[in-house]
């Protein structure tokens, strides 16, 4: 058994009303906001949208890593079509001093990842299985209790 090989992350952030701007330790800045209907200014993606973008980005990078390590033909592109849902009463239900009647987290993420590659359909299935096991963002989402059901298919070019 190997000792952990920790990868560490750090950011600083400033928030105003419903908006937050985070400065990453590698120089990137990310801003989130909520729509005006939810009290924000609607000038940046919502935090949940950023989570979904992080999922797609992490799955893309993990798929590339796995295909490379398995010495498969390169992945030229993956087209993600992702849908997510949560019960808003988990966040909005009054009174706010009491636990909500339902979970506030995302409850379901579904979609399709269409993989453009010369690898076989079996190889694409192997990549998908590896992504579900190795993608840090996917692992966190699954461990939260959210159903993650993204079907990986080989593109018919």
pLDDT value for 27: 96
Grouping H, G, I as helix, E, B as strand and the rest as coil, residue 24 is: strand
Grouping H, G, I as helix, E, B as strand and the rest as coil, residue 9 is: coil
Assigned CATH topology for domain 46-154: GMP Synthetase; Chain A, domain 3 (3.30.300)
Q: What number is the average pLDDT over the span 9-13?
A: 97
Grouping H, G, I as helix, E, B as strand and the rest as coil, residue 137 is: helix
pLDDT tens column, 68-122: 999 999 999 999 999 999 999 998 889 999 999 999 999 999 999 999 999 999 9
In this structure, the number of other CB atoms found within 10 A of the CB of residue 67 comes to 22
Question: Residue ranges of the domains in the chain?
Answer: 1-45, 46-154
Report how far residue 49's alpha carbon sits from residue 58's, in angstroms, rounded to the nearest whole number: 14
């Amino acid at each position: 058994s190997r000792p952990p090989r920790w990868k560490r992350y750090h950011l600083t952030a400033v928030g105003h009303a419903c908006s937050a701007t985070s400065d990453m330790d590698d120089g990137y800045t990310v801003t989130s906001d909520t729509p005006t209907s939810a009290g924000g200014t609607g000038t940046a993606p919502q935090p949940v949208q950023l989570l979904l973008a992080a999922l797609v980005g992490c799955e893309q990078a993990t798929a590339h890593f796995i295909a490379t390590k398995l010495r498969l033909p390169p992945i030229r592109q993956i087209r993600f079509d992702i849908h997510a849902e949560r019960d808003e009463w988990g966040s909005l239900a009054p009174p706010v001093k009491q636990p909500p009647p339902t979970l506030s987290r995302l409850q379901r993420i579904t979609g399709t990842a269409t993989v453009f590659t010369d690898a076989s359909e079996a190889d694409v299935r192997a990549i998908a299985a590896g992504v579900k096991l190795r993608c840090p963002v996917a692992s966190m989402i699954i461990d939260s209790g959210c159903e993650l059901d993204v079907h990986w298919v080989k593109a018919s070019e």
